[in-house]
Amino acid sequence: MSEIGIGIVGGGYMGKAHAVAMSAVGPVFSTTLRPRLEMVCASTPESAESYRSAFGFARSTADWKALVEDPKVEAVVIASPQTTHRQIAEAAFAKGKPVFCEKPLGASLEDSRAMVAAAEASGSVNMVGFNYIRTPASQFARHLVQSGEIGDVTWFRGEHTEDFYADPSTPVSWRTSGLSNGTMGDLSPHMINAALALIGPIDRLIAEVETVHANRPGGAVTNDDHAQMMCRFESGAMGQMYFSRIATGRKMGYAYEITGTKGAIRFDQEDQNALWLYRSDGAEAVRGFTKILTGPYHPDYAPFCQGPGHGTGYQDQIIIEARDFLVAIEKGSSIWPTFRDGLQVNQIVAAALASSETKSWQSVSSF
């Protein structure tokens, strides 16, 4: 067992989640590498010191370059705004340090490509944060699909829907400015990542992207509220996806349905500890969707709880990510999803935006 110094850029919502995960991952998963919270960076010295004290870091700074260059920081977690991702990652890779970056991978497709190039040129471990696909239920769904349990997949429907901007009287904020903060930049990457993980690469797509509430108290909205997309996977399966931040009543609508020739799967993140499975066998009179409550026999559940149906939560997903990152560092080889996987998601986002603009089908490989 050995320690590894962790530096986290960003101390807000995701910075806190990663700090807690790094503190918990060793006891939960008995990892060989044990994280040491070495340094946290925030926008001001005062906020950085506040996060240091609250989360248990040894030191704080308001200069991300100081964090990246510090020899006691042996791995970097980027949990800051998308517009900062590229420069931090490139600097860390130049130092040969492993990097975990929250999604999306940079603020643009150009950023994503540059970050992948820097990662692969350095040979350093790299990972992008798509936490929702790591629930025991979704990991099990992925296993069911890949093992052929539901036969050949013919159709996929996915959504990532929330309602934090459903009320048109909600004022403008940083979320209503900049393409990377809109629904296609913020929410869609999670479900696109799920589609890729569950079904495989997307060949082509057609999409509509729309701003419903163009003006809010305080100013104009310059990014998108919701979007819909039809796609064809390389496997031949059909697909549909919908993304929204104005989906009234939806709080965490990360949900999907998968139809196969021998069965089907349904999942909804608002009930994240249950998976619904239909098998096309037995007498028709007794067929139906079976609710499977996750438990110790499902992926990455037992380290958290020995009781079936007791459930895991959001923070546990981040702890599983931390485990994967540490295992990758220990083995010296990146684990899915890598920066290249993050780039693949962003290529699909770019294709969808272009499709909406041109009102035409787009080949993902063109982006």
pLDDT given for residue 282 in this prediction: 87
Whole-number percent of the chain with pLDDT over 70: 100
Residue-wise pLDDT tens digits, 94-132: 999 999 999 999 999 999 999 999 999 999 999 999 999
Q: What is the pLDDT of residue 1?
A: 73
Residue 134 has pLDDT above 80, yes or no: yes
β-strand 263-268 against 253-260: which pairing, if any?
A: antiparallel
pLDDT for position 247: 98
Question: 58-67, 246-255, 277-286: lowest mean pLDDT where?
Answer: 277-286
In this prediction, residues 20-27 reach a mean pLDDT of 98
pLDDT of 163 reads 98
Scan for tokens 């979704």, then name that residue: 138
Which pLDDT band holds residue 21 (cuts at 50, 70, 90)? Answer: very high
Alpha carbon distance 51, 329 (integer Å): 25
pLDDT tens by residue, 273-330: 999 999 999 899 889 999 999 999 999 999 999 999 999 999 999 999 999 999 999 9
- Sign of the torsion angle spanned by Cα atoms 247, 192, 13, 223: negative
Average pLDDT, the chain: 97
| Domains of the chain and any CATH numbers | 2-132 (3.40.50.720), 133-333+345-358 (3.30.360.10)
Torsion of CA 129, 344, 346, 108, to 10 degrees: 90
Cα 35 from Cα 98, distance rounded (Å) = 13
Q: Number of C-alpha atoms within 13 angstroms, CB side, residue 82? A: 24
- Give residue 61's pLDDT band: very low, low, confident or very high (50, 70, 90): very high
Q: What is the mean pLDDT of residues 155-164?
A: 98
pLDDT digits (tens, 9 = 90+) for 329-357: 999 999 999 999 999 999 999 999 999 99
Task: Look at 1 and 178; give whichever has higher pLDDT.
Answer: 178
Mean pLDDT of the region 185-194? 97
Mean pLDDT across the stretch 251-259? 98
